[in-house]
Copies of this chain bind each other. A is one copy, B any other.
Amino acid sequence: MKLRVGILGATGAVGQKFVALLADHPWFEVTGLAASERSAGRSYGDVVHWLENTSLPSKAAKLEVQNANEALLDCDFVFSGLDSSVAGSLEEVYARAGYPVISNARNFRMHPTVPLLIPEVNPDHLNLIDSQDWGSEGYIVTNPNCASVGITMALKPLYDAFGIECVHATTMQALSGAGYPGVASLDAVSNVVPFISGEEEKVESEPLKILGTLAGNGVQPATFRVSAQCNRVPVIDGHLAAVSVKFKKTGVSIESALQAIGQFSIPREVSNLPGSPERALELMVDPTHPQPRRHVNYGGGMTVTIGRVRSCPILDLKFICLVHNTIRGAAGGAILNAELLASKGKLKHRSSVELAGVAS
């Protein structure tokens, strides 16, 4: 019997990606959809402005959308694709009501006892949920910002092998990262917008928590500095980052850096999960790769592709990395987090009675 999933913010762009990716999931089944009052009471198929390039799954289309602010969804755990303007309070409500909340929103990412999780990078951070206290069995787990995640995954083997002193990252981010309607077409076609509100702050802080170490009831963040310059480019899917790194260790050769990246392997506890790609990182040899349009879907959108690894005249190493911002960087990453939780017994079937209790 599959675990019953609720989706908060189901009509938004991230919510839709959850619905699309969960259509045939072997472990999870979407049974509840919550959105704003405007959509409540009608079938999902009637209210959603479907943005995906696959058909709206027929089962989800028939579900009645519930008012997110009125009643709790009847399900075993929830994914949150909520906008940050409302995610904070609503996710807390669910956690207090005993639900596991697997969130893509930024609100709790930097909370001391909330894991900011990339299963291949810091699966041990899951232990933080034992330190959460919502007065219930509920907890919150988050995945990183869509630009942070690709950079952090690319840095992970380098950090482990050589230590990092500082990182400079210039991102070229896709339009889908801004949701829908998001960026106006007159700002996008034949243009670059060299600013994304709040984005550089996330890229400069999230990698430090993710690459940090568990200590007591929190995470001791990594200590390197990050400088980010975030740009919006006319690309549909795929955040590209031009990264330069200075290592703690001196004299790191390109070959040893390539070797570290190439040998990065997915922890066994993760590689068996349904959503795990074959490779978390894929090195590309063609000097013109990776490119968003060609490589964003590698590993079902869960693989970070890396290319142009070369030395940097001012730091140590330069490279390009690419991540699918709405799969690995949003819904797909959250689903992998849930799979890891499920495999560890942290998600379980809840009786409707039990739920009725908490929801009242």
Query: What residues of chain A have their CB less than 8 Å away from a CB belonging to chain B?
Result: 50-55, 166-168, 170, 172, 175-176, 180-195, 204, 225-227, 229, 231, 233-236, 240, 242, 244, 246, 287-298, 307-308, 312-315, 318, 320
Most buried by B among A191, A295, A297, A320: A191
CB distance from A4 to the nearest CB of B (A): 28
Q: List 18 A-B contacts (CB under 8 A).
A: A52-B294, A166-B313, A167-B314, A168-B168, A168-B244, A168-B315, A172-B172, A172-B233, A182-B184, A190-B234, A190-B235, A190-B236, A192-B235, A194-B291, A194-B320, A204-B313, A227-B312, A229-B318
A187 contact set on B, CB distance < 8 A: 181, 185, 291
A226 contact set on B, CB distance < 8 A: 313-314
The CA-CA distance from A54 to B296 in the complex, in Å, is 9
Cβ contact within 8 Å between A181 and B180: no
A294 contact set on B, CB distance < 8 A: 50-53, 191
CB distance from A154 to the nearest CB of B (A): 13
Contacts A192-B292, A194-B242, A233-B172 given; does A184 touch B185 at CB 8 Å:
yes
The CA-CA distance from A55 to B246 in the complex, in Å, is 32
Cβ contact within 8 Å between B190 and A186: no
CB distance from A313 to the nearest CB of B (A): 5
Given B183, B296, B313, which contacts A227 in the complex, CB threshold below 8 Å? B313
Most buried by B among A182, A192, A297: A192
CB distance from A330 to the nearest CB of B (A): 15
A194 contact set on B, CB distance < 8 A: 240, 242, 288-291, 307-308, 320
A307 contact set on B, CB distance < 8 A: 194
Cβ contact within 8 Å between A242 and B234: no
The CA-CA distance from A189 to B240 in the complex, in Å, is 15
Given B54, B225, B234, B315, which contacts A185 in the complex, CB threshold below 8 Å? B234
A225 contact set on B, CB distance < 8 A: 313-314
The CA-CA distance from A225 to B315 in the complex, in Å, is 10
CB distance from A191 to the nearest CB of B (A): 4
Given B175, B287, B295, which contacts A53 in the complex, CB threshold below 8 Å? B295
Cβ contact within 8 Å between B227 and A318: yes
Cβ contact within 8 Å between B51 and A195: no
A235 contact set on B, CB distance < 8 A: 189-192, 234
In the complex, the chain B residue whose C-beta lies closest to that of A179 is: B186
Known: A166-B314, A190-B236, A229-B320. 9 other contacts (CB 8 A): A51-B294, A53-B296, A166-B313, A168-B244, A191-B291, A194-B290, A225-B314, A227-B318, A234-B234
